[in-house]
Amino acid sequence: MATTRNCLLIFTFYTLTLFLRYVLIYISLALSQEWRLRWSSRDWPPGPIWITEFDVATVRMPWTVKRVGPLLRELHSHPYVDGLIMWSNVRPNVSGPGFGCFMMCYTDEHYKNQPVGDVIDGFTRDFIRVPDYNGETDDAGVFEASLFHGEYEATVTLPDGGQPPPPQVFSLMPVREGTVVRF
């Protein structure tokens, strides 16, 4: 099964290739009422919007973390929003250039989720579904599927009831050419 972080990574790479064609805006957690009114008007925006640089400066306050999920859902549900780009480094910027995230860290330095990481994982689980793939091989014994990056488990059953190979776990990572998994 693909992890939500890997699904989000694919989504981020995809959006990075397309974002130059769209209006880029920066949005903060505390959207004012004026912004919401303008946001909902019929004549604005002039085209599709990609939400980029999503960060929350005061996420260390517990009540702020609770507001990240509803804001993500509000942005996701807006008809003009075509995508969200969210990124973070491992720890807050404490030692100058090149260190850590601005404020909203999804994980700690040991890749254990922080509270906001749990919120974002829940959001991506709700909206990015990775289906189960069932199928039969062709005459050459090949089954082809298009999958997100991540970890999967494959189970093989044989039509004649013979002894199948044990389930195999494999990972898909970004590569220029297709990945072949053999059993």
List the chain domain ranges: 4-127, 132-183
75-103: average pLDDT: 64
22-45: average pLDDT: 49
pLDDT of residue 61: 58
> In the predicted model, is pLDDT for residue 41 greater than 80?
no
> In the predicted model, is pLDDT for residue 100 greater than 60?
no
Q: Do the beta carbons of residue 31 and residue 71 sit within 8 Å?
A: yes
In the numeric block, which tokens belong to residue 162?
């013979």
Which of the two residues, 114 and 92, has the higher pLDDT score?
A: 114
102-114: average pLDDT: 70
Indicate the burial class of 49 (C-beta count within 10 angstroms; 0-12, 13-18, 19 or more).
Answer: buried
Determine which of 61-65, 73-77, 118-122, 149-153 has the lowest per-residue pLDDT on average. 61-65
pLDDT of residue 140: 87
Which of the two residues, 99 and 164, has the higher pLDDT score?
A: 164
For the chain, what is the mean pLDDT? 65
At 104, is the pLDDT very low, low, confident or very high (cuts 50, 70, 90)?
Answer: low
The predicted-structure confidence for 52-82, as pLDDT tens digits, reads as follows 766 655 445 566 677 788 888 877 777 777 7
pLDDT of residue 17: 37
pLDDT of residue 173: 67
> In the predicted model, is pLDDT for residue 162 greater than 70?
yes
Nearest-Å Rg of the Cα atoms of the chain is 21
- pTM for the whole thing? 0.46
pLDDT of residue 45: 62
Which of the two residues, 14 and 105, has the higher pLDDT score?
A: 105
Q: Measured between alpha carbons, how far is 149 from 165 in angstroms, rounded to an integer?
A: 24
